[in-house]
Chain A
Amino acid sequence: DVKVTQSSRYLVKRTGEKVFLECVQDMDHENMFWYRQDPGLGLRLIYFSYDVKMKEKGDIPEGYSVSREKKERFSLILESASTNQTSMYLCASSSLGTLRGYTFGSGTRLTVV
């Protein structure tokens, strides 16, 4: 069964910490995405990548960076976590052209205290 795996289901971090959220897909997909989901705001795109070492800003990139050193892995980095980054983070992947749709991971619930 094809999968997008997010390394942590729940994380609690302190304000100012550097936080890494990891995502791995086993479908050989070119595209990978990071979203955050908040009540009343829906899903918002933070960053996406269409190839190794390539990245594009989404709608809300401020306070985040990403890394894609290998095709199967896409990392989201919070350089200095803040309480307003408490959220559900969802990783997704898709093949080039998105003809087969998107596959999502199970999410990481991050709480910044």
Chain B
Amino acid sequence: KQEVTQIPAALSVPEGENLVLNCSFTDSAIYNLQWFRQDPGKGLTSLLLIQSSQREQTSGRLNASLDKSSGRSTLYIAASQPGDSATYLCARAAGNKLTFGGGTRVLVKP
């Protein structure tokens, strides 16, 4: 069974600290790896998409890397802000199917 795991499930950091969120998957045959943000009671907002031929993507303070050989992706958020508090989900796409990790709930304290 294809699985996606995110550890830790929750993370609390002081404002200004860099965030490192981890995602691991059991099957390296992926099309792409996508990171989402979800605020409480809301839908998913796409943050970064890494296609299987790529190693990383960057957008502003966000950087996501992909290592298919080890089955890992990491989302880095530089200089965290209280507005970064949310749940972050990674999802592995293969064919027409998207498999989600359980998410990491992040709290950035002012």
Task: State whether these chains interact.
Answer: yes
Residues of chain A having any CB pair with chain B under 8 Å: 6, 31, 33, 42-43, 45, 48, 50, 56, 88, 90, 92, 94, 97-107, 109
Closest Cβ of chain B: how far from A22's Cβ, in Å?
A: 15
Q: Is the CB of B31 within 8 A of A102?
A: no
Residues of chain B having any CB pair with chain A under 8 Å: 31-32, 34, 36, 41-46, 49, 51, 89, 91, 93, 96-98, 100-103
Known interface pairs A42-B102, A42-B103, A97-B31. Does A103 touch B46 (Cβ–Cβ under 8 Å)? Answer: yes
Q: Is the CB of B44 within 8 A of A104?
A: yes
Known interface pairs A42-B100, A45-B98. Does A104 touch B31 (Cβ–Cβ under 8 Å)? Answer: no
Known interface pairs A106-B43, A107-B42, A109-B41. Does A101 touch B49 (Cβ–Cβ under 8 Å)? Answer: yes
Bound Cα distance A43, B89 (Å):
10
Closest Cβ of chain A: how far from B82's Cβ, in Å?
A: 22
Chain B residues whose C-beta falls within 8 Å of the C-beta of A48 in the assembled complex: 96-97
Q: Is the CB of A99 within 8 A of B32?
A: yes
Q: Is the CB of B97 within 8 A of A45?
A: yes
Closest Cβ of chain A: how far from B31's Cβ, in Å?
A: 6
Q: Which 10 A-B pairs have the closest CB atoms?
A: A101-B49, A106-B43, A104-B44, A107-B43, A43-B100, A104-B43, A98-B93, A101-B34, A42-B102, A105-B43
Q: Is the CB of B31 within 8 A of A92?
A: no
Q: Is the CB of B96 within 8 A of A50?
A: yes
Bound Cα distance A94, B34 (Å):
12
5 further A-B pairs in the complex, CB-CB below 8 A; given A92-B98, A99-B31, A104-B43: A42-B102, A45-B97, A48-B96, A92-B44, A103-B46
